[in-house]
Amino acid sequence: GQNIDQPTEMTATEGAIVQINCTYQTSGFNGLFWYQQHAGEAPTFLSYNVLDGLEEKGRFSSFLSRSKGYSYLLLKELQMKDSASYLCAVVDSNYQLIWGAGTKLIIKP
């Protein structure tokens, strides 16, 4: 079967760094997305990785290791507005997105 695993909830302090992990087992792999979803709102696109390595975009970075079935999202200089759920999604062999349940990130002052 297909499976995406993320921690259910994480807590971090404003100004700090946090790493949200995602492991996956899917039928085929055609890329991995990270989305941000604030409570009561729609998911919004953060990043896409298809090759191994680190992609940096401002305060957010995303890493992929295809051989390990592993990705992480790194958030630096945390701000209160970063409190949200972070969704990991893998593009499978049929080019459908398989979604993890999301990680709720709580930022404390």
Partner 1 sequence: IAGITQAPTSQILAAGRRMTLRCTQDMRHNAMYWYRQDLGLGLRLIHYSNTAGTTGKGEVPDGYSVSRANTDDFPLTLASAVPSQTSVYFCASSDNSGSVHTQYFGPGTRLTVL
Determine, following the binding rule CB under 8 A, whether residue 50 of this chain makes contact with partner 1.
yes
Rounded least distance, CB 61 to partner 1, Å? 18
Determine, following the binding rule CB under 8 A, whether residue 69 of this chain makes contact with partner 1.
no
| Cα-to-chain-centroid distance, residue 87 | 5
Segment interacting with partner 1, rule: CB under 8 A, options 10-18, 44-52, 57-65, 66-74: 44-52
Q: How would you class 33 by CB atoms within 10 Å of its CB: exposed for 0-12, middle for 13-18, buried for 19 or more?
A: buried
In the complex with partner 1, the residue whose CB is nearer, 8 or 109, is 8
Determine, following the binding rule CB under 8 A, whether residue 41 of this chain makes contact with partner 1.
yes
Cβ atoms 106, 83 nearer than 8 A: yes
Q: How many CB atoms lie within 10 A of CB 77?
A: 11
What are the tokens at 16?
């700090």
Residues of the shown chain interacting with partner 1 in the complex, contacts defined by CB under 8 A: 4, 8, 31, 33, 41-45, 48, 50, 87, 89, 91, 95-102
